[in-house]
Copies of this chain bind each other. A is one copy, B any other.
Amino acid sequence: MTHKRDRQATRTRLLESSRLRFARDGYDGTSVRDVAGDVGVDPALVFRYFGSKSSLFTEAMAGSTAPVVLPDGPVDELPAKLMHQLVFEDWAEYAGEHPLIAMLRSAGHEDMKDRLRQQVCEGYLGVLSELAEGNDDKDLRTELFGAWLLGIGILRTAVGTPTLSKATEEDLRPHLAAVAEALFGRPIAD
């Protein structure tokens, strides 16, 4: 007997496995049989616990919002903190990518797109918008900075561009400060 019979533990292991596979292979690229196989359990059990594949997906990715803590502290340190989290932090359980970038892999489905947008807007853009305070086109500047961080993450992980893939956080720091100042019109801590 490899594992005791424990509904909660099995559920958790299924969620962890599906989180990894959904992130790495996308929604369509992940089969219920794969996930069940990882845990060493019958695929039918997944449906008994989660009802459907899409419900499993929802629950797996919903659990992803919780561990993503939005940084606080002085606003001028926010860009560096966000970049660290989005680009450099090691999200092992999401195939090494930030959950947002991982979710992008499944953005073909419309409900996925909605969830992504909501998470980006209410979460990251909300906290960033403080930085653009005082500008007329505050929201636009905020989204433009968010686009930059997202693009960096994508070039590093999904495209694998040569220089950026090998760049360290210190390599990016000065450019982060320069771009943030250009967009927000205020000094930014590097």
**A-to-B contact residues, CB < 8 Å:** 25-26, 28-29, 104-105, 107-108, 113, 116-117, 120-121, 125, 137, 139-144, 146-152, 154-155, 158-164, 167, 171-172, 175, 178-179, 181-183
Contact = CB atoms under 8 A, between A and B. Distances in A.
A159 B146 CA distance: 12
B155 A154 contact: no
Nearest to A113: B160
A140 B167 contact: yes
Contacts of A150: 151, 154-155
Contacts of A164: 140, 143-144, 147
A6 B127 CA distance: 58
Nearest to A178: B182
A52 to B, nearest CB: 18
Given A26-B108, A139-B163, A140-B167, 20 more contacts: A28-B28, A28-B29, A104-B158, A113-B158, A113-B159, A116-B158, A116-B159, A117-B159, A121-B162, A140-B163, A140-B171, A140-B175, A142-B163, A143-B155, A144-B148, A144-B179, A147-B154, A147-B164, A151-B152, A179-B183
